[in-house]
Protein backbone atom coordinates (compact mmCIF):
# COMPACT_ATOMS: atom_id res chain seq x y z
CA UNK A 1 0.00 0.00 0.00
CA UNK A 2 1.18 3.48 -0.75
CA UNK A 3 1.98 5.42 2.40
CA UNK A 4 -0.42 8.21 3.17
CA UNK A 5 2.21 10.45 4.69
CA UNK A 6 5.32 9.91 2.62
CA UNK A 7 5.90 13.52 1.58
CA UNK A 8 9.67 14.00 1.83
CA UNK A 9 11.04 16.73 4.05
CA UNK A 10 12.28 19.59 1.94
CA UNK A 11 15.37 21.34 3.25
CA UNK A 12 14.05 24.79 2.53
CA UNK A 13 10.44 24.18 3.56
CA UNK A 14 9.08 27.14 5.53
CA UNK A 15 8.63 26.41 9.22
CA UNK A 16 6.20 28.37 11.33
CA UNK A 17 6.85 26.39 14.51
CA UNK A 18 9.39 28.87 15.79
CA UNK A 19 7.42 31.94 14.78
CA UNK A 20 4.28 30.95 16.64
CA UNK A 21 4.66 30.33 20.36
CA UNK A 22 5.83 26.76 19.91
CA UNK A 23 5.98 24.66 23.05
CA UNK A 24 3.93 27.06 25.15
CA UNK A 25 1.20 25.95 27.53
CA UNK A 26 -2.32 27.39 27.56
CA UNK A 27 -5.00 26.79 30.14
CA UNK A 28 -8.46 26.18 28.62
CA UNK A 29 -10.23 25.52 31.94
CA UNK A 30 -9.50 24.05 35.35
CA UNK A 31 -7.59 20.77 34.71
CA UNK A 32 -7.61 21.35 30.92
CA UNK A 33 -4.45 22.48 29.09
CA UNK A 34 -3.05 22.85 25.60
CA UNK A 35 0.57 21.77 25.20
CA UNK A 36 1.67 23.47 21.99
CA UNK A 37 4.00 21.38 19.83
CA UNK A 38 4.24 18.58 22.38
CA UNK A 39 3.86 15.84 19.73
CA UNK A 40 6.54 17.18 17.36
CA UNK A 41 9.35 15.20 19.00
CA UNK A 42 7.39 11.99 18.27
CA UNK A 43 6.28 12.97 14.76
CA UNK A 44 8.37 10.61 12.58
CA UNK A 45 7.59 7.50 14.63
CA UNK A 46 3.93 8.42 15.03
CA UNK A 47 3.36 8.96 11.28
CA UNK A 48 5.06 5.65 10.43
CA UNK A 49 2.99 3.82 13.04
CA UNK A 50 -0.19 5.44 11.72
CA UNK A 51 0.49 4.15 8.23
CA UNK A 52 0.79 0.60 9.56
CA UNK A 53 -2.43 0.91 11.60
CA UNK A 54 -4.44 2.33 8.72
CA UNK A 55 -3.28 -0.49 6.44
CA UNK A 56 -4.81 -3.04 8.87
CA UNK A 57 -7.82 -1.05 10.06
CA UNK A 58 -8.79 1.46 7.37
CA UNK A 59 -10.71 4.66 8.11
CA UNK A 60 -14.47 4.31 7.85
CA UNK A 61 -17.40 6.66 8.42
CA UNK A 62 -19.58 5.24 11.16
CA UNK A 63 -23.30 5.69 11.74
CA UNK A 64 -24.71 7.41 14.83
CA UNK A 65 -27.51 5.79 16.84
CA UNK A 66 -29.80 8.40 15.24
CA UNK A 67 -28.93 7.13 11.74
CA UNK A 68 -26.55 9.87 10.55
CA UNK A 69 -23.28 9.08 8.78
CA UNK A 70 -20.49 10.93 10.59
CA UNK A 71 -18.49 13.40 8.48
CA UNK A 72 -15.33 12.42 10.38
CA UNK A 73 -13.82 9.06 9.34
CA UNK A 74 -12.48 6.93 12.19
CA UNK A 75 -10.39 3.94 13.12
CA UNK A 76 -8.78 2.73 16.35
CA UNK A 77 -5.85 0.97 17.90
CA UNK A 78 -5.42 -0.49 21.35
CA UNK A 79 -7.18 -3.11 23.47
CA UNK A 80 -10.51 -1.50 22.66
CA UNK A 81 -11.81 0.86 20.00
CA UNK A 82 -14.59 3.43 20.14
CA UNK A 83 -17.42 2.55 17.79
CA UNK A 84 -20.90 3.74 16.96
CA UNK A 85 -23.74 2.13 15.01
CA UNK A 86 -27.53 2.04 15.21
CA UNK A 87 -27.33 0.27 18.58
CA UNK A 88 -25.28 2.97 20.32
CA UNK A 89 -21.85 4.34 21.25
CA UNK A 90 -19.43 1.96 22.99
CA UNK A 91 -15.95 0.44 23.09
CA UNK A 92 -15.37 -2.88 21.36
CA UNK A 93 -12.35 -5.19 21.39
CA UNK A 94 -12.86 -6.13 17.72
CA UNK A 95 -12.93 -4.03 14.56
CA UNK A 96 -16.51 -4.57 13.33
CA UNK A 97 -15.36 -4.25 9.69
CA UNK A 98 -12.75 -7.03 9.85
CA UNK A 99 -13.86 -9.03 12.89
CA UNK A 100 -10.23 -8.87 14.09
CA UNK A 101 -8.80 -7.21 17.21
CA UNK A 102 -7.80 -3.59 16.65
CA UNK A 103 -4.06 -3.10 15.94
CA UNK A 104 -2.00 -2.82 19.12
CA UNK A 105 -1.04 0.57 20.54
CA UNK A 106 2.46 1.32 19.21
CA UNK A 107 5.09 2.14 21.85
CA UNK A 108 5.54 5.65 20.44
CA UNK A 109 1.80 6.34 20.97
CA UNK A 110 2.00 5.21 24.60
CA UNK A 111 5.16 7.27 25.13
CA UNK A 112 3.64 10.40 23.61
CA UNK A 113 0.38 10.09 25.56
CA UNK A 114 2.26 9.39 28.80
CA UNK A 115 4.64 12.34 28.33
CA UNK A 116 1.78 14.76 27.61
CA UNK A 117 -0.32 13.47 30.52
CA UNK A 118 2.65 13.76 32.88
CA UNK A 119 3.25 17.35 31.83
CA UNK A 120 -0.43 18.10 32.42
CA UNK A 121 -0.36 16.63 35.94
CA UNK A 122 -1.45 13.03 35.36
CA UNK A 123 1.76 11.04 36.02
CA UNK A 124 0.10 7.61 36.09
CA UNK A 125 -1.83 7.73 32.80
CA UNK A 126 -1.41 4.60 30.66
CA UNK A 127 -3.82 4.55 27.69
CA UNK A 128 -5.43 1.34 26.48
CA UNK A 129 -7.33 2.85 23.55
CA UNK A 130 -6.66 5.36 20.79
CA UNK A 131 -9.41 6.69 18.56
CA UNK A 132 -8.02 8.06 15.30
CA UNK A 133 -10.16 10.70 13.59
CA UNK A 134 -9.65 11.87 10.01
CA UNK A 135 -11.13 15.24 9.04
CA UNK A 136 -11.28 16.17 5.39
CA UNK A 137 -12.35 19.70 4.37
CA UNK A 138 -15.87 20.33 5.69
CA UNK A 139 -15.79 17.53 8.28
CA UNK A 140 -16.80 18.53 11.80
CA UNK A 141 -17.59 17.05 15.18
CA UNK A 142 -20.45 18.60 17.10
CA UNK A 143 -20.24 19.37 20.82
CA UNK A 144 -20.20 16.20 22.90
CA UNK A 145 -18.84 14.71 26.12
CA UNK A 146 -16.43 11.76 26.22
CA UNK A 147 -18.24 9.51 28.66
CA UNK A 148 -18.08 5.94 27.37
CA UNK A 149 -14.91 5.22 29.38
CA UNK A 150 -15.18 3.15 32.56
CA UNK A 151 -13.03 5.29 34.88
CA UNK A 152 -13.66 9.01 34.52
CA UNK A 153 -10.78 9.83 36.88
CA UNK A 154 -8.47 9.10 33.93
CA UNK A 155 -7.77 12.07 31.62
CA UNK A 156 -8.20 12.44 27.85
CA UNK A 157 -5.07 13.13 25.77
CA UNK A 158 -5.81 14.51 22.29
CA UNK A 159 -3.11 14.97 19.62
CA UNK A 160 -3.59 17.14 16.52
CA UNK A 161 -1.78 16.42 13.22
CA UNK A 162 -2.07 17.96 9.77
CA UNK A 163 -4.29 20.91 8.88
CA UNK A 164 -5.26 23.36 11.63
CA UNK A 165 -8.73 23.13 13.15
CA UNK A 166 -10.84 25.18 15.52
CA UNK A 167 -11.39 23.24 18.73
CA UNK A 168 -14.30 24.24 20.92
CA UNK A 169 -13.98 23.65 24.65
CA UNK A 170 -17.00 24.43 26.78
CA UNK A 171 -18.39 23.52 30.18
CA UNK A 172 -20.35 20.78 31.87
CA UNK A 173 -23.60 21.65 30.10
CA UNK A 174 -24.15 21.91 26.37
CA UNK A 175 -25.18 25.56 26.68
CA UNK A 176 -22.19 26.76 28.78
CA UNK A 177 -19.89 29.33 27.10
CA UNK A 178 -17.44 27.77 24.66
CA UNK A 179 -13.78 28.78 24.16
CA UNK A 180 -12.27 28.44 20.70
CA UNK A 181 -8.65 27.35 20.10
CA UNK A 182 -6.82 26.82 16.84
CA UNK A 183 -5.07 23.44 17.11
CA UNK A 184 -2.10 22.91 14.81
CA UNK A 185 0.14 20.03 13.81
CA UNK A 186 1.83 18.74 16.97
CA UNK A 187 -0.43 20.39 19.54
CA UNK A 188 -1.75 18.22 22.38
CA UNK A 189 -4.82 18.94 24.53
CA UNK A 190 -5.20 17.20 27.90
CA UNK A 191 -8.32 17.40 30.04
CA UNK A 192 -9.34 15.57 33.21
CA UNK A 193 -10.38 16.16 36.80
CA UNK A 194 -13.05 18.88 36.99
CA UNK A 195 -12.96 19.28 33.19
CA UNK A 196 -13.19 15.59 32.33
CA UNK A 197 -16.83 15.79 31.20
CA UNK A 198 -16.62 19.18 29.49
CA UNK A 199 -18.39 19.48 26.16
CA UNK A 200 -16.00 19.85 23.22
CA UNK A 201 -16.10 19.72 19.43
CA UNK A 202 -14.41 20.72 16.20
CA UNK A 203 -15.82 23.21 13.66
CA UNK A 204 -15.91 22.40 9.93
CA UNK A 205 -12.34 21.90 8.67
CA UNK A 206 -11.12 24.61 6.31
CA UNK A 207 -9.52 23.45 3.10
CA UNK A 208 -5.75 23.62 2.85
CA UNK A 209 -2.65 21.59 2.17
CA UNK A 210 -0.44 20.37 5.00
CA UNK A 211 3.24 19.81 4.28
CA UNK A 212 3.23 16.25 5.68
CA UNK A 213 -0.40 15.09 5.60
CA UNK A 214 -1.90 16.89 2.64
CA UNK A 215 -5.57 17.86 2.66
CA UNK A 216 -6.55 16.49 6.04
CA UNK A 217 -6.36 16.73 9.78
CA UNK A 218 -5.85 13.72 12.01
CA UNK A 219 -6.63 13.59 15.69
CA UNK A 220 -5.47 10.86 18.04
CA UNK A 221 -7.50 10.62 21.23
CA UNK A 222 -5.91 8.51 23.94
CA UNK A 223 -8.12 7.11 26.65
CA UNK A 224 -8.18 4.59 29.43
CA UNK A 225 -11.35 2.94 28.20
CA UNK A 226 -11.61 -0.43 29.98
C1 LIG B 1 -12.88 14.10 19.74
O2 LIG B 1 -13.47 14.79 20.56
O3 LIG B 1 -13.08 12.88 19.64
C4 LIG B 1 -11.88 14.69 18.78
C5 LIG B 1 -11.44 16.07 19.08
C6 LIG B 1 -10.52 16.60 18.01
O7 LIG B 1 -10.59 16.14 16.86
O8 LIG B 1 -9.71 17.50 18.30
FE1 LIG C 1 -14.40 13.84 22.24
CATH of the domain at 93: 2.60.120.590
Give residue-wise pLDDT tens across range 177-191: 999 999 999 999 999
What pLDDT, on the 0 to 100 scale, is given for residue 22?
A: 78
- Atom number of ligand 1 nearest to Cα 217: 7
Cβ atoms of 133 and 72 within 8 Å: the answer is yes
Is residue 5 domain-resident?
Answer: no
> Cβ(79)–Cβ(92) under 8 Å?
no
Range of the domain at 59: 25-223
* 16 occurs within a structural domain: no
Number of domains in the chain: 1
Whether 3 is covered by a domain: the verdict is no
Q: What is the pTM of this model?
A: 0.92
Which ligand has the shortest distance to the CA of 148? 2
Asked whether residue 75 is domain-assigned, the answer is: yes
Q: What is the DSSP string of 96-121?
A: TTTSSBPPPPPHHHHHHHHHHHHHTT
**Ligand 1 lining (C-beta closer than 6 Å):** 133, 141, 158, 167, 200, 202, 219, 221
Q: Say if CB 106 and CB 47 are below 8 A apart.
A: no
Predicted confidence (pLDDT) at residue 18 exceeds the cutoff of 70: no
How far is residue 50's CA from residue 53's CA, in Å, rounded to a whole number?
5
Whose C-alpha lies nearest to ligand 1, atom 6?
219
Mutate-to-test residue for ligand 1 from 129, 136, 141, highest number of ligand atoms within 8 A of CB: 141
Q: Per-residue pLDDT tens for 22-80? A: 789 999 999 999 999 999 999 999 999 999 999 999 999 999 999 999 999 999 999 99
Vertex 186, ends 13 and 216: CA angle to 5°?
75
- pLDDT band (50, 70, 90) for residue 9: very low
Residue 102 included in any domain: yes
For the cut 70, the answer to whether the pLDDT of residue 98 exceeds it is yes
pLDDT exceeds cutoff 50 at 199: yes
User: What secondary structure does DSSP assign to the chain, as a single string?
Assistant: ---TT-PPPPTT----TTTTTTT-EEEEETTEEEETTTTGGGHHHHHHHHHHHHHHS--B--B-TTSPBPSSEEEEEESSEEEEETTEEEEESB-TTTSSBPPPPPHHHHHHHHHHHHHTT-TT---SEEEEEEE-TT--EEEE----SS-TTS-EEEEEEES-EEEEE--SSTTS--EEEEE-TT-EEEE-GGGTT--EEEPPPPP--BTTTBS-EEEEEEE---
Ligand 1 centre and the CA of 156: distance in Å?
A: 10
Q: Provide the 10 A C-beta neighbour count for residue 6.
A: 10
For 127, what's the count of Cα atoms within 13 Å in the CB-facing half-sphere?
32
pLDDT tens profile 99-157: 999 999 999 999 999 999 999 999 999 999 999 999 999 999 999 999 999 999 999 99
Domain presence at residue 184: yes
Query: Which residue's C-alpha comes closest to atom 2 of ligand 1?
Result: 201
- Ligand 1 atom nearest residue 167's Cα: 8
In-domain check, residue 62: yes
Q: For all residues of the chain together, what is the average pLDDT?
A: 93
Asked whether residue 175 is assigned to any structural domain, the reply reads yes
If pLDDT is split at 50, 70 and 90, which confidence band does 3 have? low
CA of 144, closest atom in ligand 1: 2
Amino acid sequence: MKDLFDTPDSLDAPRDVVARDAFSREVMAENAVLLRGKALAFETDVLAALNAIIARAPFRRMITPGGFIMSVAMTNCGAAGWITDRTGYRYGRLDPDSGLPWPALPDCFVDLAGAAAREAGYPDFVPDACLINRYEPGARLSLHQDKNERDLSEPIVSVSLGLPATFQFGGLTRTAPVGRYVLRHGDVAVWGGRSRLCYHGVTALKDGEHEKLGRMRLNLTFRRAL
